[in-house]
A and B are shown apart, each in its own frame.
Chain A
Amino acid sequence: MSLVTYLLQQVVNGLTLGSIYALTAIGLSIVYGILRLINFAHGDVLMVGAYVALGLLGASGGNLWGALLGAAAAAGLLGVVIERVAYRPIRRAPEVAALITSLAVSILLQNAAIMIFTAHPRTFPVPAWLTQLHAVGGVLFNTLTLITVVTAAVLMVGIHLFVARAKAGIAMQACAQNLVVAEMMGIDSGRIIMLAFAVGSALAAVAGAMLGAQYGRIDPFIGFLPGLKAFVAAVIGGIGSVPGAVLGGYALGFAEILFVGLLPPELSGYRDAFVFFLLILVLVARPQGLLATGGEREA
């Protein structure tokens, strides 16, 4: 394997991982944009989405798209319920209260999943055509990788257009810039926040299903670390912005893969330290992220 092939292969690896981070980061980013809430439970919504997708995949006899759609719908609903029950009552409370509530929701979802599904990992079987291996000039990838990357790209462009062009999307931007003024302009902020949770959670569920399908197994803990890393991605890219979340997600995916791929094993163990060091660096040097959004509000 030549060095070029080696690097290309690592790029493909980074692209897959980055797609999942990016999909997860979008939801966190738009919610944070409006509510200034780090939703620790976002990763657990991803986990729930993965379990729903697994169930639907089994029930439908391997219909991938149906499973994705069903998981997205279920998780979207879950997101709305969480918002209504846990976050809305404390919207006026100090921001730390919201952070803690999201931690509690995260613990709740994890333990509910343990009680329902047990902590024993579940196999995530996918139809054989999805794991079919392709080789282009020595670079290997399977159909699923292709689908993951393309689906992620389509969804991200769609969300970007929605936020930038659709009326509800523009209202979302207005809420992110200034919630009070947006309300004065007649925007129903409650519905917009609900929409942000629904869309973000649905995307997380797609990421969860992809994660399950790509790696073949899920357990009640799979969501937490991706959720945390997605937040890192969102911050690196510039939190509150959809293109920023996407950029951050891919940057993080590549950084993680290349860190392990290019450094000797004695150093590659420090990958997570490196990721968060990067985060601190970005926060200190460029707190608005790589793609700054306007209207950074004092929290």
Chain B
Amino acid sequence: MRAIPVVVLAGGVLALAQSFLNPYYLRLVDVTGINIILAVSLSLTNGLTGVFSLGHVGFMAVGAYSAALLTLPTARKALILPDLPAGLQQVHLGLLPATLAGGALAALCAAAIGYPVLRLRGHYLAVATLGFLVIVRSVLINWERVTRGGVGISGIPPYTTTWWTYGVAALCLYVTWRLTQSAYGRAMLAVREDEGAAAAMGITPSAFRLLSLVVGAFFAGTAGSLWAHLITVISPNSFWLTETFALVVMLVVGGMGSTTGAVVGAVTMTIVPEALRGLEGGIQVAGLNLPPLFGLSQLLLALALILTMVWRPQGLLGGRELSWPRWLRQGSLPRRANK
């Protein structure tokens, strides 16, 4: 397989990064990895079947909370969550099983809400999925026995490493790639481009929309778990509108409907705001009276987003995929007909 050298190379780069990189940049690498999982999984839902979901962060929250409850040391659980159901109280798992469980629960939620909601389309669907996010937040705030409500869960073990992050990211990319290349993927694209025609060809649109939502939710859940074990404290405010918009922006910048576009978007939107820090946070003592520029980077991002939409609504990659083997051979971007 042609992918093998790339995987080896990527692994080598990560190994180098781990041993030589300044912890700040290594942290950005980790955050980027998590954002890649989030953006790619959302692109699976949004891009492939045209389900514009604003509830992705809700799935992330489900994954983060359930995984955190599983990895939290039992002594700490007894201290901060005395009313937890006895079954959960005794469990103490490692990162991998907890992350898988978090992803599975998120996927379950997706299946439950997807069944009624996916019959809607377009804007209605967007608002309904936003409704899911609101409901998740409400439950996180009010189900205090299990979530500690507004207090949030702190002291989550810092299990997330670059290896885990990029392992899951690679899996996510692989699954997405396989799905798009398979008959399922073709069917999903057909649903996105022309639902009526797809149905006439014997494809059940709702089944494929559901599949894309469920798989997307699974990876959002795993990303939530990785995020929780990186930041080590989660609260209902961790999974709300700011995060939702940031995710949408990643997808838009890269171009919807393209997996590699989602990757490019995630990388760009993680690195650029951090790089813009210098612009607004660089107020040094010498310039104490400089006008505060905090908020400038958000403003610029919003402006950039509007301009992107006006001049290049298809995003940086415009629905095309970057593809490595051909790039190696020709050094040019191939066009893939998915219009």
Instruction: Using CB atoms and an 8 Å cutoff, list the residues of chain A in contact with chain B.
Output: 32, 36, 38, 85-86, 89-90, 93-97, 99-101, 103-105, 107-108, 111-112, 114-115, 224, 228, 231-232, 235, 266, 269-273, 275-277, 279-280, 283-284, 287, 299
- Whether A104 lies near B134 (C-beta < 8 A) is no
Interface residues of B in 132-147 (CB under 8 A from A): 132, 134-135, 137-139, 141-142
- Whether A93 lies near B309 (C-beta < 8 A) is yes
Q: Which of A38, A111, A284 contacts B116 (CB 8 A)?
A: A284
8 residue pairs A–B, Cβ–Cβ below 8 Å: A32-B123, A86-B309, A99-B52, A99-B123, A108-B303, A114-B295, A272-B138, A276-B135
- Whether A284 lies near B309 (C-beta < 8 A) is no
- Name the CB-closest residue of A to B297: A111
B245 at the interface (CB under 8 A from A): yes
- Whether A277 lies near B303 (C-beta < 8 A) is no
B117 at the interface (CB under 8 A from A): yes
Q: Please, how many residues of chain B have a CB less than 8 angstroms from a CB on the other chain?
A: 41
Q: Which of B138, B248, B299 contacts A112 (CB 8 A)?
A: B299
- Inter-chain contacts of A224 with B (CB < 8 A): 241
Q: Which of A93, A95, A273, A275 contacts B123 (CB 8 A)?
A: A95
- Whether A287 lies near B120 (C-beta < 8 A) is yes
- Inter-chain contacts of A283 with B (CB < 8 A): 117, 120, 124, 127-128
Given the known A-B contacts A86-B306, A107-B302, A277-B131, are A36 and B123 also in contact in the complex, defined by CB atoms under 8 Å? yes
- Inter-chain contacts of B141 with A (CB < 8 A): 269
B152 at the interface (CB under 8 A from A): no
- Name the CB-closest residue of B to A113: B295
- Inter-chain contacts of A115 with B (CB < 8 A): 295-296, 299
- Whether B298 lies near A107 (C-beta < 8 A) is yes
- Among A266, A280, A299, max chain B CB count under 10 A is at A280
The complex places the Cα of A208 from the Cα of B159 at a distance, in Å, of 47
- Among A105, A115, A266, A271, max chain B CB count under 10 A is at A115
- Name the CB-closest residue of B to A82: B306
- Inter-chain contacts of B46 with A (CB < 8 A): 96
Q: Which of A36, A89, A111, A228 contacts B310 (CB 8 A)?
A: A89
Given the known A-B contacts A111-B295, A272-B137, A283-B124, are A94 and B302 also in contact in the complex, defined by CB atoms under 8 Å? no
Q: How far is the CB of B187 from chain A (nearest CB, A)?
A: 21
The complex places the Cα of A277 from the Cα of B132 at a distance, in Å, of 8
Interface residues of B in 295-320 (CB under 8 A from A): 295-296, 298-299, 301-303, 305-306, 309-310, 313
B98 at the interface (CB under 8 A from A): no
The complex places the Cα of A190 from the Cα of B131 at a distance, in Å, of 33
